[in-house]
Structure formats: structure tokens, C-alpha cells
Amino acid sequence: MTDRRVLLVAHTGRADMYVTATHVQKVLEAASIELLALPGEGRELDLTMLDESVANGGTQESPVELVLALGGDGTLLRAAEVARPLRTPVIAINLGRVGFLAEAEADHLDDVLTLIIDRNYTLSRRMTVDVVIEHEGQVIDTCWALNEISVEKTTRERILDVVIEVDGKGVSAFGCDGVLCATPTGSTAYAFSAGGPIMWPDVEALLVVPSNAHALFARPMVVSPQSTVSMHIDPSGHDAIVTCDGRRTHEVPRGSKVHVRRGVHPVTMIKLGDQSFTDRLVAKFSLPVHGWRGRSH
């Protein structure tokens, strides 16, 4: 019986996923590593399933040495939900389009498996955010995110009126479609599309980005990781909704406050080789790096 196990989180909607998962299983089994699947996915992939209570972080010691995500960034975020309570590192192989958070592309699958077998990788701790939703002085819900949380209006026709506070001090009030609070990891995702800056992953900061705000001062803000960012929803306005990483939603009644702080528990991601974030940024966004004289910088 092997004492090495890897948990697979896969985009099972892909037609070729069964073939890919079978290949990964064979390669790892040849190195005496058992490949497990999430509850509900093992039958489809013909893999042994991880016990559901264990998958929810029910034990103190992780039963797997890492979580392997096969898919795009959405699959990586789903894998992070599993890896975080297990205190287990996660690595993603991109089978989608951009796959900004993925550590490698599909054509390097076997190279990645070799590095996993040899434990030839380093670890990178990624900042998360913890969210508390407060209504009439009572905590009504909590959540967390690796990329970002968004506080948004519930219907297209309405405007969400908010007051942004940092450490309990008001900064700006405006009507908007929503407000994003992102980590450095999430600065290349929804926050980037909303006009926010890109932050390198080793920057320790919170990023606040208004979405379609009706105000003169509604610029993105980079806030200390020791600060608490709060969004106060107008009590005479409309209800809102909080979405974490585009996956988990929570209702926010009018008059509530949404408090965002640096997460207590980070997500640990596996890093292969020495590719810099700058190189990844240029490659994923196909950025021009030639000056006006044709030189490469």
C-alpha cells in the first residue's frame, strides 16, 4: 500500500478528461502514487474517491500530498476550495484558454507529473481574503476567496449605493454596479477587467475596485493588508449579493456592512522552475515587449 496520494480535481465536462485522467493515473501508479478523485467525480473518472468528511477538512493531517487541477482557472479555484481546509498545496495544468493561474500547459503534462513524482518543486503561499457580512450589528454570514469578492447589485435595472470605508473611516460614497476587493492573485481576473491594476503575487495588499461607479472619486485603491475594507449598503436602497471567486454567493440585505480582511488561512500553490511572474504576464496577455527601435527589453 502506497503512502503517497494525489487528489485530482478535473473539469469533467471536457470530452477528453477521462482519457487524460487515466493517463495521469497510470503515470503516478507506476511511481507508487495513488490518484484519488473528489466525491461525485470518482465514478465518472473511474478513480477511487476521497472520503467526503476528509475532503471537507475533517482530519488534522491531510491524506494527500497535493491537489492536481486539470482544467482552466475555474477548476483551479474549485481545487483551492478543497486544498485550503486540507492545508495542502495545489497545482493546475491548463486545459482551457487563458489559464492565468495554471502552472503549466497541457502539452507539458508528463513533465509536470515527473516533477511531482520527484517532489521537485517549490511552494508559494497566496494571500486570501476573509469576509464577514454584518446586518443590524449581527454577523449573518461569512465567506472567503482566493481571487476576489464582489459586492454587486441583484438586478440590472438598479443602482447599488455604497459607502467605502477603510478601518472604519469613510473614503467615498457612490452608486455603482458593484465593488470588488481582490488579492494580488486576483488582480489579473475580475478586478483587471473592471480597470484595476495588476499586482505581483508577492505584494501584500488588498485591491479595491469600483465597478461602473457614478462618482468623481471612484478609482481603484491599493490598501494595506493589515486594514479592513468595509462596504456599507444603503439602508434605504436595494439588497446586494456577495460572490466569492465567482463561485459562492451570499445574500446581503440592504443596510448591511461587508467587511473584508486578509485571510487567516492562505492557499499554497506549487511553483515549477524559475519562470517569473513578468514572463507569465507577457505570455498570457501576448504583451508587446519591443521598443520603438525594435529592441527587446
Q: Record the cell numbers describing residue 247, joined without a space.
A: 463561485
Take residue 284 and report the three cell numbers written for it: 498570457
DSSP-derived letter for residue 108 is G
Q: Phi/psi zone of residue 184: left (φ > 0), alpha (ψ -120 to 50 degrees), beta?
A: alpha
Residue 276 CB neighbours (<10 A) = 9
161 grid coordinates? 449605493
User: What are the angstrom distances between the C-alpha of 288 and each of 19, 121, 196, 295?
Assistant: 37, 30, 20, 11
Closest by CA to 146, choosing from 131, 129, 133, is 129
Are 112 and 93 within 8 A, CB to CB? yes
Cell numbers for 157: 435595472
SS3 197: coil
73 in catalytic set = yes
What the block records as the C-alpha cell of 114 is 515527473
User: Which of 16, 73, 111, 202 is labelled catalytic?
Assistant: 73
Residues with a known catalytic role? 73
